[in-house]
Structure formats: structure tokens, C-alpha cells
Structure 1
Amino acid sequence: MYWEYGMGGWAAVSMTVTVILFWLLLIAAIVALFRSVARGERFRGGRSAARPSGAEQALAERFARGEIDEEEYRHRLGVLRSLGHTDTS
């Protein structure tokens, strides 16, 4: 028994199942991607913990060059972190 356009009943069923499987796999891949991104942020501790801000980097470079002493470095670093400074330039 043939359906319209010459397709048998099993062809229509297999096409329907294939389309449903395609969409399920696509949705599962998107969910897996979002979960891996979220998990990565949680393990890294966010952007500020993974990489110092531009201001913190500049302060560390001044300390390394000997322009400021350790006491001044720690004080200024504490001020930057208390302000929540996240400039990454």
C-alpha cells in the first residue's frame, strides 16, 4: 500500500522517527554545552580569580620593578580588591 508521493507507511514512520531523534540530539548537545560552560566558570572561580585585573597587574609590575615596597603593594592591592575593581585593560 502506497501513500501519496509513492512513500510507503514505513518510510513515513522512519522519517518521523529520524526527525524526532535529530531534534533530541540537537537539544541534548546545546544543554551539554551550557552545562560545560557553567561548570567551567564554577571551577575557575570566575574571571577575577583566574586572571588579575589590569589595575592589579599594573600594581604587581610596579612592585616587581621596585617602585613600591611590599607594605604599600599589599595596602593598594587590598584597596583595589575591596572596591571590586575588575578593569581588564
Structure 2
Amino acid sequence: MGPIFTIIILVLGVLAIVALWRFVSGGSGREATGSGDRSLEVLRERFARGEIDEEEFEARKRALNR
């Protein structure tokens, strides 16, 4: 089938490995954005669940943004 077919198979294999790695590691690429984004996300989730009130939410948000 020729060298082009071999190259296509290799490229598809590499793409499959990368996709599998991202799936297994839960990677959406957000890990590279830093822990500050994740901290704020957790803070918003806690506020949405009612674990903290608005005053505490705002105070912690200000502390994270320093």
C-alpha cells in the first residue's frame, strides 16, 4: 500500500495515544492555567452549594485576587 499509508497509520496511532492520555488524565488543558483559576472555581462551587455566604465568598475572592 505504500509509504503514505504507513505514515497515515502512524499519525492516527499517535493521535489515538494523545487522546487516550488526555482522557485518562482528565485533561482538558485547564491544568496549565494555574491553581488560581481552580481555586476560584472551587470557591464559586462552594458558594453555589450554600457552604459559604456571600460575605465570606467576597472576602475569599478578594484574597485570591491579591
State the TM-score, normalizing by the size of structure 1.
0.37
Could you say which structure has the larger radius of gyration? 1
